[in-house]
């Protein structure tokens, strides 16, 4: 059964550094998403992406964040200058007509 995959599973970085989180959505899905979940809190929407552009973004998704689909399979989330409060699980998801399917997540720890 096709799955969303994410790399790395855990990323540790210093405050102020740039990080890139990578995702491979399910191959025939057209909509892609990033969500995050701070420890003990709700899953929060960050951004949706369709037809090579952002279709919707939340207030969290400020100028420090960007997304890209550099080729036909990968979907990336870049955080330009990480802050302590960016520490969270980041989930990629892709959607078909049935629903949104999530990857296993990348745990980002900002020191």
Partner 1 sequence: EDQVTQSPEALRLQEGESSSLNCSYTVSGLRGLFWYRQDPGKGPEFLFTLYSAGEEKEKERLKATLTKKESFLHITAPKPEDSATYLCAVRGYGNKLVFGAGTILRVKS
Measured from the CB atom, the residue of 93 and 110 that comes closer to partner 1 is 93
Measured from the CB atom, the residue of 82 and 94 that comes closer to partner 1 is 94
Q: Quick check: 12 binds partner 1 (CB under 8 A)?
A: no
Measured from the CB atom, the residue of 14 and 62 that comes closer to partner 1 is 62
- Strand, coil or helix: what is 18? coil
Q: Please tell me the distance from the alpha carbon of residue 62 to that of residue 105, in angstroms, as a whole number.
A: 21
Cis peptide before 76 (omega within 30 of 0): no
Contact characters 27-66, partner 1, x per CB under 8 A: ----x-x-x-----xxxxx--x-x----xx-x--------
**Stretch of 12-20, 64-72, 75-83, 92-100 lying at the interface with partner 1 (CB under 8 A):** 92-100
Cα-based distances in Å from 86 to 16, 24, 31, 51, 106: 11, 22, 24, 27, 12
Quick check: 106 and 21 in contact, CB under 8 A?
Answer: yes
Shortest spacing between CB 46 and partner 1, in angstroms = 9
């Amino acid at each position: 059964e096709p799955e969303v995959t994410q790399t790395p599973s855990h990323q540790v970085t210093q405050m102020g550094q740039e990080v890139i989180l990578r995702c491979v959505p399910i191959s025939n899905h057209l909509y892609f998403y990033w969500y995050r979940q701070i420890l003990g809190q709700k899953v929060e929407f960050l951004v949706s992406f369709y037809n090579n552009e952002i279709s919707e973004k939340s207030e969290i998704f400020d100028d420090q964040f960007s997304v890209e689909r550099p080729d036909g399979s990968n979907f990336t989330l870049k955080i330009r200058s990480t802050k302590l409060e960016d520490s969270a699980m980041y989930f990629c998801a892709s959607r078909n007509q049935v629903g949104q399917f999530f990857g296993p997540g990348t745990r980002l720890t900002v020191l």
